[in-house]
């Protein structure tokens, strides 16, 4: 008995020492990253000072410009929120144009209006996704957002910029900043994955807390925002699952389709885990899982391997995200049904209509 107590005590002691050691290592890493973080923050502050003082040129468009951006280096849900705003403005009778640089496209210096049948390598995956979901809106890409706007022969009623908070070269009439309430509090790169700190919210017009369904610290986020900008309106939302769609969008299935199904799932997005969790919550059993880097497509080898697994294991379907779906050839064949899962915005409390849409509706 005494021997067992000694063993337990030893294990507890080792565990405690391991925890302390991990904390110590984390502390050292944070300390080493602090000076570079100060330098990074100083450079960002200098850039903002140049624009705020008028020393750096700011272009203007002849219609209102609304920016959807964030402080983080990605993964807050800018593109789904941009899509939601296109939907809301379209419902209000407003013609919108989305301006983007088209991250990852092969001709980054060119400018073009994106069509639904484009190759994603020419437009970028997110602009193509927006163009396919909202054919009523113009989606334009260019080396700058101002250059992208020049693709249009006639101006829309308003412009939306996807990922525009740090794009100070273009005047904005409304700056919307997204904050992932399920993530860690902001720390500047390289201490964290933030491009700007809390103080940047002083130039924001609306803050939006995203992934609120996955957060238990919304009050802390709201208090932190209010401490920097007490008059900044704060909206809240969650990303919910829409229907399942075929690649060519010709057919949809309700979410009930997933219940009891054995599936393969893959995605190349900034935060993949909520996607897989949602599929499981909807009743699917994920037998094969592939996690790619953000914006990364499946290679031919990976596609062949996935097809082989689907056939050998007699799976019912392959499910991916809407952003990943635009990188697949419509003729892609995994030997089983292939769908992408739509992601839709669910406002929690006040919606964006009063704060964002109505002020810009004629």
Query: Domain limits of the chain?
Result: 1-56, 65-239+347-360, 241-344
As a whole-number percent, the residues of the chain with pLDDT over 90 amount to: 69
3-state secondary structure of 176: strand
For the chain, strand residue ranges (E) read 65-70, 96-100, 112-113, 138-141, 158-162, 174-180, 206-210, 234-245, 252-253, 262-267, 285-291, 317-321, 337-347
Answer whether residue 83 shows pLDDT above 90.
yes
pTM: predicted TM-score of the whole model, two decimal places: 0.86
For 42-111, what is the HEC assignment? HHHHHHHHHHHCCCCCCECCCCCEEEEEECECCCCCHHHHHHHHHHHHHHCCCCEEEEECCCCCCCCCCC
**What is 65-239+347-360's CATH topology?**
Rossmann fold (3.40.50)
Pick from 270, 249, 233, 245: nearest CA to 78 = 270
C-alpha 50 chain-centroid distance:
28
Residue 230 predicted with pLDDT over 50: yes
pLDDT at 325: 96
Greater pLDDT, 38 or 142: 142
Task: State the pLDDT confidence band at 136, using cuts at 50, 70 and 90.
Answer: very high
Alpha carbons 124 and 162: distance in angstroms, whole number: 12
Of the candidate ranges 20-34, 228-242, 289-303, the one whose mean pLDDT is the lowest: 20-34
Please check whether the two domains, 65-239+347-360 and 241-344, share a CATH topology. yes
**Alpha helices for 216-269 (secondary structure H):** 218-228
Whether residue 41 is predicted with pLDDT greater than 90 in this model: the reply is no
Burial of residue 228 (number of CB atoms within 10 Å: 0-12, 13-18, 19+): middle
The pLDDT value recorded for residue 259 is 97
In the CATH hierarchy, which fold is given to the domain comprising 241-344? Rossmann fold (3.40.50)
């Amino acid at each position: 008995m005494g021997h067992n107590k000694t063993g337990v005590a030893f294990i507890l002691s080792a565990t405690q020492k391991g925890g302390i050691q991990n904390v110590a290592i984390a502390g050292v890493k944070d300390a080493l990253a602090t000076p570079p973080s100060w330098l990074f923050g100083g450079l960002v502050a200098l850039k903002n000072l140049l624009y705020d003082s008028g020393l750096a040129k700011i272009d203007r468009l002849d219609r209102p410009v609304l920016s959807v951006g964030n402080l983080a280096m990605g993964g807050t849900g800018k593109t789904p929120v941009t899509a939601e705003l296109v939907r809301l403005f379209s419902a209000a009778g407003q013609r919108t144009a989305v301006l983007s640089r088209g991250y990852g496209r092969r001709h980054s210096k060119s400018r073009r209006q994106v069509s639904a049948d484009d190759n994603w390598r020419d437009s970028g995956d997110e602009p193509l996704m927006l163009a396919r979901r909202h054919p009523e809106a113009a989606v334009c890409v260019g080396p700058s957002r101002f250059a992208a706007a020049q693709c249009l022969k006639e101006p829309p009623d308003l412009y939306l910029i996807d990922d525009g908070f740090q794009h100070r070269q273009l005047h904005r009439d409304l700056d919307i900043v997204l904050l992932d309430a399920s993530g860690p509090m902001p720390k500047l790169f390289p201490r964290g994955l933030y491009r700007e700190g809390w103080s940047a919210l002083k130039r924001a017009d609306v803050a939006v807390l995203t992934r609120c369904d996955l957060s238990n610290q919304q009050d802390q986020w709201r208090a932190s925002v209010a401490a920097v900008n007490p008059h900044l309106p704060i909206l809240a939302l969650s990303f919910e699952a829409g229907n399942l769609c075929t690649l060519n969008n010709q057919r949809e299935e309700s979410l009930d389709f997933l219940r009891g199904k054995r599936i393969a799932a893959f995605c190349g997005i900034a935060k993949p885990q909520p996607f897989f969790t949602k599929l499981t919550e909807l009743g699917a059993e994920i037998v094969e899982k592939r996690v790619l880097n953000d914006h990364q497509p499946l290679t031919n080898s990976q596609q062949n391997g996935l097809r082989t697994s689907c056939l050998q294991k007699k799976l019912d379907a392959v499910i991916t995200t809407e952003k990943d779906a635009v990188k697949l050839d419509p003729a892609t064949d995994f030997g089983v049904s292939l769908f992408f899962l739509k992601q839709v915005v669910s406002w929690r409390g006040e919606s964006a209509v009063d704060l964002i849409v109505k002020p810009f509706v004629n």
